Amino acid sequence: MSTAEVAAHEPGARNKSISPRQIPVIGVVMADEEMQSVFKPMDLHHIITILEESDKDGLEEKQLRYVKKMVQCYQNGLPLRELTQIFKILKLCAIKVENQPRFIESVYEILQLCGLPFLKKKVSDEITYAEDTANSIALLGELMKIPNSELRIHICKCIIDFYHAEPPKKHIPGYQQASSSYKIKMAEVGGLAGTMVQSMILLENQLVEKLWVLKVLQHLSTSEANCALMLKAQAASRICAHLNDPDPSGQLLFRSSEILWNLLEKSSKEEIIQQLSNLECLLALKEVFRNLFMRGFTHYDRQLRNDLLVITTIIAQNPGAPMIECGFTRDLILFATFNEVKSQNPLIKGVKLSNSYEDFELKKLLFNIIVILCKDLPTVQLLIDGKVVLALFTYVKKPEKHKIIEWSLAQHEELQLHAIATLSSVAPLLIEDYMACQGNARILAFLEWCENQDLFFSHGNSFHGTGGRGNKFAQMRYTLRLLRAMVYLEDENINTDLCEKGTIQQLIGIFKNTIKEPSEKEEAIVLEIQSDILIILSGLCEHHFQRKEIFGTEGVDIILHVMKTDPKKLQSGLGYNVLLFSTLDSIWCCVLGCYPSEDYFLEKEGIFLLLDILALNQKKFCNLILGIMVEFCDNPKTAAHVNAWRGKKDQTAASLLIKLWRKEEKELGVKRDRSGKIVDTKHPLFTSFQEEQRIMPLPANCPSIAVMDVAENIRAKIYAVLGKLDFENLPGLSAEDFVTLCIIHRYLDFKVGEIWNEICEEIKLEKLRPVTSDRAILEAITTASKNIGKMVVSLQSEMIESQARQDMQNEQKVYSKIQGTHRQRELANKSWENFLARTSNIKTLKKAKKLQEKAIESSKYSERPHNAICHRTVIKGLNTTVSAGPVVTVESTPVRLLGGPLADTDIALKKLPVRGGALQRVKTVKTLD
């Protein structure tokens, strides 16, 4: 009964005409019937049973008929739940092909069904039947063992269809299509890639089948999981060994190189290199590359040639690869240099490179592989035979006007930079060739061109040309790298030749020009150029007094300029750290040991700048700066400069060094108490590393842990500097500094005791028994060492106690000062209160007046001298308690007799006398002129 009919017979249903909204319901019913016609019940177990039967008349026809019905049933896709049985039927049919050829059509039809989408009834079917599906797909690889060419080709086509899924021909209600990548994932899980690689062994002389298998592997190698399986099956070596097999179509070489590329990108590069590093693979690569180099003219051939050269470059990174044995290295060197050095070798007869992009890339790849090959020392003789240095030096020259070259300007510039970079690796190995080509003269001439102001419009497009657009920085940068590589060979012939040609003055001049014309845009490259110049100068001047004199004051000026750099720039990441390291190295190599340069460095406050950098507290610079300070302190003028330096908060150099000592000991884990005193008097300098390490007997030529400790931290250098500054007269030290200074002062004694302790321990471990006198000496030494430790601890304790007493006294002085201040304040307040009381209350004022008069009287002498005239100092009649004034007029002779100094003036009449009223004018005799 249909859904519409059921609705009509329901109780209470309304009778009305069928509306258009009920049409979809009828459609569903029709789809249901259609589904039943598409997937008729198939007894796949019955078909398998029939296919397994044998030796019956008419059985083959019956078997083919059943298989045909099954194929017709699943024309729209294979359900996941029935996949295992269908693939079992496929396997049974494929096995019968050899004896019953009629089954081949059935196999083709089933394989064609495998190219259709897999169908799932439930969403969980993909997970539920994952293992069965993976095993079924893996069966396709197993069927490749059947010796039937057409079957193998159809299997390959079926697998390729996994990557080109087609939509289902017809939608089947109740089923959904599995995800498009489901087959690919199941192929990975089932290990199909590995079995396909193994099947190549069966196809040695069957080109068509081999090409189909390679096409399959090309698709499978796009997955990392499949690449891992292929690598396990030795795919790289098996494919590479057959690169040179005859193939008129050219597909074998193309597909093989594509597979190798995928393997390199998606699996372990080291394992692939190991697989390809055998004579068979390299001979095949060599022949293929040689043919493409000599006879490849199309765009495709050139691309393929370059791809194979990249693969060869990767293989050449393995020192164990027989590149020389197979003759590949000699060919590559020839191909890299035939344009620049004439050769009669028939391999390059008629070969010419164009300025096409592929040939340009080939030239760069050949330069690159030379750098890799030269790391293998046996290659050096081949590089000499191939005149590689001469070929590369043809690029180290200024551009010549109006000269026709095979490359464009941009290409030539890039090759020039690449050639100079290659020379940096090759020339140090071929010193004789370098000198024969007058390498020093060529480099210096090219540097001179880089320095001058000629117009040069560089393109700066390549990796090597970074930062060189519109200038010559890129050329200068790589030329200085080449010069640096040659100088640091420490070959006296090369360095002497450079100095005779004025290299030191020329490099100082280049450095000064970079200072005068700063380029903010290319700051990082300029800093690298400056660093290389200083490194080269250090290499040339080290251990040579005359060269240090040539370096002279001009060289010291550029060092001082760098040392004045803003410390904030050290964190910019542009290369200031490297430049500063190079500068410190140049101080060590170019200044120290040359007294005029040392004195000039001191005059220009170079020691102040060194201490400023040391005060930045950056560990990477401390060791080097302290080493320079130790050497500088041999100059008697240095100590005054060091003691005169002041840092932040008026810090002295001695205080800074002691602070660095404490910081170093904290990092090393040396045991100290809160006040900085020694904790372990037996091992006062022991670090946490020394405590962890067990003492072991060592040969006489091996330094012990205690000796190595001297070189591995900065404590020894701090001791040396402070010792040369005189421990007794160090300014600006606190009590804590003095406590630490006690340890520093005894550093050498402690270290000697530490080494003797190691000797005693080694003697015990080796179970040796010293003679009586030696034992007594050892005991005396160890006892003396302990006593020194105890003495230092005692001295430190005294210092700490003395400082504590001094702090207490200072504290009491401060408190006394505070108390005095409070007392004065109280007296002032009390005086003010008394003053207010006197001015506001007459009784209080009178009382105060009486007290004042009484005090005055009591302060006078009780016995007066005989014939003494007493003068009153108090004015009678005043009702004040304040002093009358500092001046009191005293009359010993009546004024009326003398008149006084103001008797003739009007002021005298206005001034009140002390007693007797106003002054009187005395008449005087007028004198005539």
Take residue 523 and report the two structure tokens written for it.
Answer: 């700051």
The long-range contacts involving 242-246, CB below 8 angstroms and separated by at least 24 positions, are 242/210, 242/284, 243/284, 243/285, 243/288, 244/284, 244/287, 244/288, 245/207, 246/207
Q: Are 785 and 756 in contact (CB under 8 A)?
A: yes
Quickly tell me which residue has 């060094």 as its tokens.
Answer: 657
| pLDDT of the residue at 769 | 87
More confident call, 163 vs 857: 163
Query: What integer is the mean pLDDT of 886-900?
Result: 56
Whole-angstrom distance, CA of residue 393 vs CA of residue 804: 75
pLDDT over 70, % of the chain? 85
pLDDT at 282 over 90: yes
| pLDDT of the residue at 237 | 93
pLDDT at 523 over 50: yes
pLDDT at 125 over 60: yes
110 pLDDT band (50/70/90 cuts)?
confident
pLDDT at 559 over 90: yes
Q: How many CB atoms lie within 10 A of CB 355?
A: 13
Q: Are 677 and 800 in contact (CB under 8 A)?
A: yes
| pLDDT of the residue at 908 | 47
pLDDT at 14 over 60: no
Query: What integer is the mean pLDDT of 208-219?
Result: 93
| pLDDT of the residue at 12 | 39
291-337 confidence digits (pLDDT tens): 999 888 889 999 999 999 999 999 999 999 999 999 999 999 999 99
More confident call, 507 vs 148: 507
Kindly give, in sequence order, each residue whose CB lies less than 8 Å from that of residue 129, ignoring residues fewer than 6 positions away. Answer: 80, 81, 83
409-438 confidence digits (pLDDT tens): 888 888 999 999 999 999 999 999 999 999
760-815 confidence digits (pLDDT tens): 888 888 888 889 898 899 999 988 988 999 999 999 999 999 888 988 999 999 99
Q: Is 127 exposed, middle or buried (0-12, 13-18, 19+ CB in 10 A)?
A: exposed
Average pLDDT for the chain: 84
| pLDDT of the residue at 699 | 81
| pLDDT of the residue at 1 | 40
28 pLDDT band (50/70/90 cuts)?
very low
Query: What integer is the mean pLDDT of 11-28?
Result: 36
Lowest mean pLDDT among 536-550, 733-747, 889-903: 889-903
Lowest mean pLDDT among 338-347, 372-381, 443-452: 338-347
pLDDT at 732 over 50: yes
| pLDDT of the residue at 904 | 52
Q: How many CB atoms lie within 10 A of CB 655?
A: 20
| pLDDT of the residue at 405 | 66
Sheet with strand 78-79: strands edge to edge:
78-79, 118-120, 176-177
**What's the whole-model pTM score?**
0.76
380-412 confidence digits (pLDDT tens): 999 999 999 999 999 998 877 655 567 888 888
| pLDDT of the residue at 460 | 53
| pLDDT of the residue at 918 | 44
| pLDDT of the residue at 464 | 62
177 pairs with which residues across the strands?
119
Separation in Å, CA 317 to CA 225, 258, 259, 671, 797: 25, 20, 20, 50, 64
pLDDT at 926 over 70: no
